[in-house]
Homo-oligomer: A and B are copies of this chain.
Amino acid sequence: MVISTEVKKIARKAREASIQVARLSSEVKERALRMMADGLVDKGEFLLAENRKDLEYAEKEGLSKAMVDRLALTAVGIEGIAEGLRQVALLPDPVGEVIKMWRRPNGLLVGKMRIPLGVIGVIYEARPNVTADAAGLCLKAGNAVILRGGSEALRSNRAIGQILQDAMEKAGVPSAAAQVIPHIEREAVEEMLKMEEFIDVIIPRGGEGLIRFVVEHSRIPVIKHYKGVCHVFVDATAEKAMAIEICYNAKVQRSGVCNAMETLLVHQEVAPSFLPPIAEKLQEAGVELRGCARTRHILPAVKEAIEEDWYAEYLDLILAVKVVDDIKEAIDHIGHYGSQHTEAIITSDYANAQRFLREVDSSTVLVNASTRFSDGYQLGLGAEIGISTTKLHAFGPMGVEDLTTTKFIIYGDGQIRTS
């Protein structure tokens, strides 16, 4: 019961702090973000020392190399995290913006004013930079945040939390606005997910297992994405050179991320001329192809794709390839096997471009551009707290504005209701 009490104490403090943070001026928030950035750089030695302890522990426990890579901090990496906070400082403050206002027949002036969500719970794995990124974005949008990273990064996350809190206090921001939960037990997460009285939204970031656990246990709305099974559909009228460039970029430029292409759909009319050159280029980059029967008719050396391949988020140099009859089959395939994350069409056909944009039910839909652009920074949101495939106020890459909601503000001059 000790953990339960402590998590509750943290959550209650966050709720109290959120009231003050919501009212901070833009200037105070900007100053705090810059001081947080400076703090991380100034105390880089301390931070690296704490990170080394996590790394030693991780090696002793035999964590995977990928996990250790994500965990490791460097002086350059810390400078990058600090630079991220400085960029967030420069973004426009969303709080208080009145996004709409209209007059009612009775003279009431009704507006919608942007306000912080309140308290945000972020549950994540490995990468300690999330601690600083999430704290910065939440503060910018006037929220308090409760951060619960993975046990393997506990010392690093605690060190970052301490540095950020020191900076916030100096800048006049209550330190409870960004708290790191220091308990590694899973019970701490379960407790957090019950605190609907104190936490408004949960954002989990990590593998599908973590996210399913959070969804199953949370009484608080969860904004999440499970995975990114992203498609590129090369239409009959695609410009061949453009299609090759985009498909190569979407698969190879960075294959371990959620907005990389996992399945390539090719219109039957262009498959014979398009598949051989793209296959060659991808195979040169080390990509393994898995194809449908029609693909293998054109590329006999390609391995056969099985049903699971169409659902797969490889996060690796593997690509499923399917030849489709037409745009309808492409859209239906995406609807059936996709993850509502990001899909692109390569086409020269006006009607098909518009139809794909309208009918594909994914958070980001592109025409003639790489799926890799599905990213808050690339789309111009300034920064990204995550990507949502939950259909709520945020669907797709989420920036600072997506950490706010709106309230109605109403200016009257004595109106009463008569019916």
Within the assembled complex, what's the spacing in Å between the Cα atoms of A365 and B379?
34
Selected contact of A417 from candidates B118, B253, B357, B365, CB within 8 Å: B253
How many whole Å from A278's CB to the nearest CB in chain B? 14
Q: Is the interface of A mostly helix, strand, loop or mixed?
A: mixed
B412 engages A102 (CB within 8 Å): no
Number of interface residues of A (CB under 8 A): 73
List residues of A (104-119) whose CB comes within 8 Å of B's CBs.
104, 108, 110, 113, 115, 117-118
**Chain B residues near A417 (CB-CB < 8 A):** 249, 253, 370, 372-373, 378
B364 engages A410 (CB within 8 Å): yes
Selected contact of A391 from candidates B23, B118, B246, B250, CB within 8 Å: B118
**Chain B residues near A223 (CB-CB < 8 A):** 221
A390 within 8 A of B: yes
Within the assembled complex, what's the spacing in Å between the Cα atoms of A390 and B119?
12
How many whole Å from A6's CB to the nearest CB in chain B? 22
- Write out, one digit per residue, whether chain A residues 21-33 have a CB within 8 A of any chain B CB (1) or not (0): 0110000000000
B117 engages A391 (CB within 8 Å): yes
User: Which 9 A-B pairs have CB atoms at the shortest separation, nearest pair first?
Assistant: A393-B393, A369-B412, A249-B416, A221-B221, A372-B417, A366-B410, A364-B408, A369-B415, A242-B414
In addition to A379-B408, A395-B406, 19 A-B residue pairs with Cβ atoms within 8 Å of each other are A96-B358, A115-B361, A118-B391, A201-B392, A242-B414, A245-B416, A246-B414, A246-B416, A249-B416, A353-B411, A363-B407, A366-B409, A369-B412, A379-B410, A392-B405, A395-B405, A396-B406, A396-B407, A396-B408
